[in-house]
Amino acid sequence: MRYNLIFNILGLLSKYISIMFLIPIVAAMILKETNHLMPFFVTGVIALILGYIFSFNKAEQKDIDSIKKSESLVTVFFAWVFFGLICTIPFLFYGFDFTNACFEAISGVTTTGASIIQDFSKYPKTLFFFRSLTQWFGGMGIVVLFIAVLPKISVAGRQMFYAEAPTPTEDKATPRIRYTASWFWGIYLAYTIIEAIILKHLGLDWYYAIITSLSTIATGGFAATSGGIADFHSSKIAICITIFMFIAGINYILAYRCLKNKKITPIFKSEEFRTYLLVFIAIATCLALSLIFNSNYKPNDAFLSSYFQVIATMTSTGFALDNYITWDAASKVILFIAFFSGGCATSTSGGIKIIRWLFIGKYLKRELNKILHPQGVYPIKIEGSTINNDVISQMIAFFAFYFAIFAIGAILIVLIENNTTIALGASAAAIGNIGPAFGILGPMDNFATLNIFTKWILILLMLIGRLEIIPFLAILNKDLWKD
């Protein structure tokens, strides 16, 4: 393990993270909140200084290009921890203690959207803009951003790209990973701008349109008001956000291919997308019918609320159009199913991801066929490609670890909070990067009242969920740290 190399890459990232803090400084000036420049200026300076300290011994290009998989896993994990800690600093200027500041920052950069803020009127608009900005940078991935803009790590970027967002197959949009990362960020930016313009046209001012768009496309869910999207009181705005949440959950490689070919057909040819669409419609329709028959909703309200809430949960955005805590038990159970679905691979959504569920379905079908025909050969194919045995083992291991970590988190929280609803909901929402949960952690509530130890458990779960478990498990292995 070459620690100097890891520190050098983290230092390089830190220097560019410092540039990010110019954005909230400009926003504070536009919003005429110049008395709130200091938190972001100080944080930017600290990030810049740390960048130079970490880069005390500059790595040669050949060293960076030779980064090993173990080193990339460690680099990516600590890049996210470091990014979260840097984003913690501005919250300290507004009276947050360290735990709450870290919780809010990690919730932002991991696009979880869980918040400890109780009184929104106490804080300036600039701080809420900054919260959504942390989600936007975290949504596509902070490492993917630097792969796109830094030619120095373009060769080594492949290892870190798949360490940050592991997928069942190493499918890519372009032959060079730097171009893939650049295309992803270009599409990501375009989505954000288009949604903001549409929301402005639908009646929001630029401040709310931009904040909502940043959080939507990042599938983050931070809002600038305590009531979230419900405070806009507009079905048109809700429908617009529903559409863009769905788009944000689509595989970015598919989006690239549609743009390259100037056709939408690659999306509908995708087995993963068709499954994503089918699961969304099935869960949302069942929920709508449940609301109609069990909670006496009018059909129009039921379908709008259900489709909005299901896609918000599937994509781990965490927005809320309705306080689902007041729904009947059957409706809440149906929604809870969506906590474990996820969007498509290489999208900004969290959770298990649809492609893994697609694999599990085919794996179970194969095992049933083997029982009936033991001599038969039944390869598992996804998107026309046969999944090899190594990937099959990794996929099964992912499910095992995901639910084991979820269960451990829930057990620890229930021991602390003495509340099963809080424990199950909080653990599922944190590891799935969803945000709001159930009980006192519902969409119109917050996480402020939780025990300090519960908050730190959730912080760890949010990081594990964002990195999709693999880098976290890797750093726990003592063999990783050997030379």
Mention every residue, 6+ apart, whose C-beta is less than 8 A from residue 261.
none
Q: How confident is the model at residue 394 (pLDDT cuts 50, 70, 90)?
A: confident
Q: Which of 60-74, 158-172, 229-243, 363-377 has the lowest mean pLDDT?
A: 158-172
**3-state DSSP assignment of residue 385:** strand
In a domain, 364, yes or no: no
Between CA 446 and CA 416 the distance in angstroms is: 18
In a domain, 440, yes or no: yes
183 half-sphere exposure, CB direction, 13 A CA radius: 21
In a domain, 426, yes or no: yes
- Token pair listed for 158: 């492949």
What is the DSSP-derived secondary structure letter of residue 219?
T
In a domain, 431, yes or no: yes
Angle at 388 between CA 382 and CA 392, to 5 degrees: 80
The tally of domains found in the chain comes to 1
In a domain, 421, yes or no: yes
Q: What is the pLDDT of residue 143?
A: 61
pLDDT digits (tens, 9 = 90+) for 301-311: 999 999 999 99
In a domain, 465, yes or no: yes
Between CA 205 and CA 115 the distance in angstroms is: 24
- Can you tell me the mean pLDDT for 109-120? 92
Between CA 60 and CA 322 the distance in angstroms is: 54
Q: Are 246 and 316 in contact (CB under 8 A)?
A: no
Q: What is the pLDDT of residue 395?
A: 87
Percent of the chain clearing pLDDT 90 (strictly above)? 56
Q: At residue 468, does pLDDT exceed 70?
A: yes
CA 371 to chain centre: 39
Q: How confident is the model at residue 97 (pLDDT cuts 50, 70, 90)?
A: very high
Q: At residue 149, does pLDDT exceed 60?
A: no
- Token pair listed for 292: 């109609």
Q: How confident is the model at residue 260 (pLDDT cuts 50, 70, 90)?
A: confident
pLDDT digits (tens, 9 = 90+) for 194-218: 999 999 999 999 999 999 999 999 9
Amino acid at 369: N
Give the Å distances, CA to CA, from 47 to 43, 130, 229.
6, 16, 33
Tell me the residue range of the domain where 394 lies: 389-481
Q: At residue 442, does pLDDT exceed 60?
A: yes
In a domain, 414, yes or no: yes
pLDDT digits (tens, 9 = 90+) for 270-315: 999 999 999 999 999 999 999 999 999 999 999 999 999 999 999 9
327 half-sphere exposure, CB direction, 13 A CA radius: 29
- Can you tell me the mean pLDDT for 128-134? 95
**143 φ/ψ sector (left φ>0, alpha ψ -120 to 50, else beta):** alpha
Q: At residue 153, does pLDDT exceed 70?
A: no
- Can you tell me the mean pLDDT for 39-45? 96
Q: What is the pLDDT of residue 5?
A: 77
In a domain, 380, yes or no: no
pLDDT digits (tens, 9 = 90+) for 66-93: 677 777 778 888 888 999 999 999 999 9
Q: At residue 456, does pLDDT exceed 70?
A: yes
The pTM assigned to this predicted structure is 0.91
Per DSSP bridges, beta strands 381-382 and 385-386 are antiparallel
